Structure formats: structure tokens, C-alpha cells
Structure 1
């Protein structure tokens, strides 16, 4: 019969709890002789690692507990039995500088089971693991229902059936539901455990926030601030006028301590007015001569304003071939070039452009990012490859001349955020541009899109600009939310792919 509770408390174990603790342990392990811990053992483990010993109280009565040590990862790899992992109950294996939080016991009094009190203990252990920056929680779990199936099933087959929910095991089923995964089967782990036939399952929960080499300075941030520039097309008399306008926006965005500034696709098109008397292919090739001066200037601005600049895109001539490219100018002074991979029919027809041939992600001081130019975002394979390489934020500079073109970019960008479990930032040009052929009108509503789950906006839109108005948009995105989503989201799209049936890969690496 389940007990009725007025108040539940979770806290660290104290030596004064021992008498109540002993009673609950005896009730919890009736099949094991001397199932309770001796008082001197409790005193010893509390003196060594008080934070790792937890109890659940129901109306001031100890009804459950979880005990832990910190051990070296190499000890876990040696497949130790219970005596070895505890140092024959001396707890000499405890190492405050170890990598693993090892669970050496957890129980709930049988009268208090079914109230999810065990889940509270496990959640508290996970919080402790994250707080102490430990790599994982590991423990060996009993399989007490195995004795009922031992004649027809090996331990491996039994575990597989429990995983598929064809069988229920009161311990293993609970562990699997708490995001632990099976590492291996252990023989002769706990002598006298006849219910488990002395088998145990080594289980692991990985700390997704573990930092192998924590730094005091230059640490990678979890909150990244993005500045989007919704650029108004306007006549510009020369390159210096473009630099003046660009620096104005970079100054404004960096003033809010943004980590990135994103410019739109082909935002330098006003400079093509001087070549409007030429054919469209010749005019765009004249514009390409500005690419290198722009890269150099944006590198200077990235250093001066301590911001990573994504330069939208511009035409670029390489061995006589015309590409649509942009530059990632990092605040450390370095730069990298990215290509538009998929070229629109209009770009081919009017300008004779060609698509790039390299899909890549970029390492920054804010983590790994991807950059795709406009039409690229309408092809899901490209961003999926980037997601497989660890991309957290996808930047999409775009240029669309009407609302229908914009809608394609918008909805495809939102789809990329959901399916790749990442943030997607898009920035476009607005307004009209007279005296430049093939660049007459523009339509844009810049935005930052998110995955669709409880931690994110219900619309999947973090923020967006006013349509067709020159402005900036500054948005914070939290990379830790993506880590949670990858591991614990209500839908885990990247994890649940059937890679046994299909794959997406680069042809040329």
C-alpha cells in the first residue's frame, strides 16, 4: 500500500539520519543479507564526499537515498566489481579530481515507490555532475527480474527485451527511462544477488555540458548575440560611401556587444550603377573588383569593433569564372571565404554565375557556424551536412525581389532550424535601386528562427524585423538550449534518423 505524504524534502545526508536510513535499507533489500550500511561506513563517506550523498525525506522520515563517489575513468574501464569500485568499502577509490560520478547505491523504501521519488534523486545526481564538471554518471544496476527468465534468455537477450519494453525490470526499466544507456554486462558483480543471478548492467549518463579543459579566460560563451542588418538599397557614389554606411551599422551593433554582424546578399549592388551602360554580365564582373578591398576593410572593422562580420555576398572572379561569395571576417583578424553553392536561374541567365564546390562549416570563438547564401537554404541536404559537422547557428544572407521569393527563403530557413536543431539567422536588402539593371526592387523581413520545442518560442521565431524597412535586429540565442534539445527534446530529429536506411554525405571532402 502506497504511503500518503504531506511533505517531501531532498537534501544531503547527515549522520543523524543513520537510524532512519538503516530501517529503509533493510526494507528495500529484504533478499540481501546485511543489506544496510554500517554507521562507520556512512561517517567515512560523509567525511570524504558529503555533496555526493543524498536522501529523500517524507514527513521527516528517510525513505530513500543515493550514494556516490568520484572515480577515475580508467577505473570504470577496468570493469570492476562492487568491492573494487568501493575499495572494499574503504572508499579509497574516491578521487576529487576524477572524471566520473559513480553511483554506489540508490534505493526507495517499498512503501514509497511509485511516487517518482527515485527520479528526484537521479535528477539531483545529474545536477551535481554538471555542477562539478564531471564527464558522466556511471553505475552498475541490478536486473532483479532476470531470475524469472534466466533459463530461456541470456543477460544480453533479457536486456534487449527490456529496452524494447517486451519485458519489465523494476531497476533497468527505470534507468533507461532516465536517459541512461547500457555500456556492458558485468558478471559476479554483487555476490548474493540471486534475483539478478549476480549479473549487473553498467549504465552511463553523459554530461553534455562537460568541459574537458575549462579556461578562466577566452571561454566559449553559451549566450551568443547576433546583429542583423536589414540594408536599404540606395545610390552610393563610391566604395568609401559604402564603407561609411557599413561601418555605421557595425558600430551600432557592436555597441550592444554583439558577437556577429550579418549583412545581406549582394548588398554592394548600388556600386554597379557606374557600369549600367555595360551589358549585365560585364557590369557584374566590374562589381567583382570590389570584393578584395571589401574583405580587407571588413577585416579591419572586425578587429576595431571586436565583432565577427559575415559580409553578406558579392560577385567574385576566380580564374575567369564568376562566383557569388562572402567573407567571414573574425575579430581575431583572420578571414575565410564561403561560396554560394546553388545558383538561381536568374543568376545564370543574366550574369553567367557558377556555383561553388565546397560545403564547409566555420570555427569561431562562439562555436561552429554555417553560412549559406539565399537559394542554398532551399536545399536541405547542404545544411544537414553542416549539422553533422556540429553547426549551432546557420547564417543566411539573402536577396529577394518580391514577397513570394522571400516566403520561400523564410519557410525553408524555418524548416532548416527545426530539422537540424539549430538557430537560423537571415538578413536581406529592402527598397528600390534605380539605374542598376536586374536589381530594381527588393523585399525582406530579416529574422532569427529557432527549433520547435518547449524551450523555444512556440512560433519558432525568436525575433523578426519590420518588413521592407531599413533597421537592425539584435537577438540573443542560447547554445545550451540546443544541447538540451539534442539529448532530451520531445522530438530528437538528429538522433532519430534512420541512418541504417539512408545517409547524406559530401562527395568531395
Structure 2
């Protein structure tokens, strides 16, 4: 998969490419994570070449990257899971096999988001939204029912003393509060379907996440 498009960077249109990543991109993908998640984010949580190898071997359709002038600026990774795997509460670690996606199930009906990442310089250019849109296109192409994933709530720790996670989400949906991740996912067309506890170790979110989906409008069984 490969497509070309324009994003606005520093007020000017810049040509970008979104495509499937391969083994030759591994060093660049790890660099994207290094720049995007600097210390005190633990280095051992950046992608490893072992994880990336599993992505391109098991589900290349879910291994996307974005580049400008031949330099990687973002990536997005997914896997397919069964309905049974996501019916009950789950953690990011369990549903993604700690990011290795060895539990990828080609017979499933849900594309689950493992990760989306954009380097700071190109945030708010629209490239993250284009990565998400491309993954929606993968859902349609593979005739899956939906895309699903957990969104961090990094603004929640600022309001935890006055609101439960459910109340926090409701106030974000009413436009009273803004959350960097949840608000971004809403702008991408994702819809909240529940709150997950102990989803990912994250002090800002107090380990909570909002499960958010996008339904395939071309698949009647998903409606």
C-alpha cells in the first residue's frame, strides 16, 4: 500500500507518503519512537526490531508509516482480533501480545489499534488523522466490522479529584474539557464505547483508557 498526499507544515503544503513499512524501515521507526517518547519514557518500551518483524510478517496490512522527503515522521500498527477477545475487559498488553501481535487472528472481525505515533515536529499537521483514515480504509478493504482501540486519557489526572473516568469522558464529549488524545480520536471519527481499567501503566491517565471504535459503514453486519 502506498499513497501520496499533502499536509500543511509551518503554514505550507508539504508532500507526504503513507505506505506499508518493511524491514528496511526498522531503524527509522525506532527513531520516530525515540523522538516522540523522550526520557523519562522508558527506552525499553520503544519498538524493538523483534516486534517490528512480527508486524510485517503477521499482518503487513496493519503496518503503516508516514514519511516526508524520505524521512519517517510517524507510524501506526494494528492487528485483527476475534469478537470474543474484546468482549470482556482487557489490557493493552494482553490484547496486543505486548506489542508482538503473535495473537493476530485473520478470521476475526475487528482491527485493533496497537499504536499510533507522530514526531512532535509534525503533530497538528493532519498526518495522524491521515494514518487513522488509512487504517479505516484497511478495515473496508478487508471487509472487517470495525476498528477498535484504547485511547489514553492524559488529562484525567488533572480532574481525578472531581470526576470519575466516566464523568471526565462525558465532560470531554460536552466540550467542557479537552483531552489531547480523546479529543484527537473524536476528530478522527472514533466513538467511545466504554472505559477500561488498568489498561496501560500511565500516571497521567491513572491507568484508565477509553475504548473507541469506528464502524465499517460498508459492512451491514457491523451496523
TM-score, L = length of structure 1: 0.40
CA distance in 2 between counterparts of 1:85 and 1:11 reads 25
Aligned pairs for 1:186-265 (under 5 A) are 186-191=196-201, 193-212=202-221
2:23 corresponds in structure 1 to: 15
CA distance in 2 between counterparts of 1:100 and 1:155 reads 25
2:137 corresponds in structure 1 to: 127
SS of alignment partner, residue 80 of structure 2: strand
Q: Hey, which bits of structure 1, 4+ residues long, moved more than 2 A?
A: 2-7, 29-32, 87-90
1:248 corresponds in structure 2 to: none
Aligned-residue offset at 1:139:
0.2
Conserved 8 A contact 1:187-1:198: yes
Deviations along 1:327-350, whole A, 9 cap, x unmatched?
Answer: xxxxxxxxxxxxxxxxxxxxxxxx
Conserved 8 A contact 1:22-1:37: yes
SS of alignment partner, residue 102 of structure 1: strand
Conserved 8 A contact 2:54-2:102: no
Aligned pairs for 1:125-204 (under 5 A) are 125-191=135-201, 193-204=202-213
Conserved 8 A contact 1:101-1:137: yes
Aligned-residue offset at 1:5:
6.9
Deviations along 1:432-483, whole A, 9 cap, x unmatched?
Answer: xxxxxxxxxxxxxxxxxxxxxxxxxxxxxxxxxxxxxxxxxxxxxxxxxxx9
CA distance in 2 between counterparts of 1:80 and 1:144 reads 19
> Which protein has the larger Cα radius of gyration, Structure 1 or Structure 2?
1
Aligned-residue offset at 1:85:
0.3
CA distance in 2 between counterparts of 1:77 and 1:28 reads 32
Q: Which runs of 5+ in 1 are unaligned?
A: 213-482, 484-509
CA distance in 2 between counterparts of 1:90 and 1:10 reads 22
Aligned-residue offset at 1:18:
1.4
Aligned-residue offset at 1:32:
2.8
Deviations along 1:6-39, whole A, 9 cap, x unmatched?
Answer: 4311101111111121121122223531331101
1:52 corresponds in structure 2 to: 62
Conserved 8 A contact 2:32-2:72: yes
Deviations along 1:186-219, whole A, 9 cap, x unmatched?
Answer: 111112x11111111111111111154xxxxxxx
TM-score, L = length of structure 2: 0.89
2:118 corresponds in structure 1 to: 108
Q: Which runs of 5+ in 2 are unaligned?
A: 1-8
Q: Paired residues, what number?
A: 212
Conserved 8 A contact 1:26-1:35: no
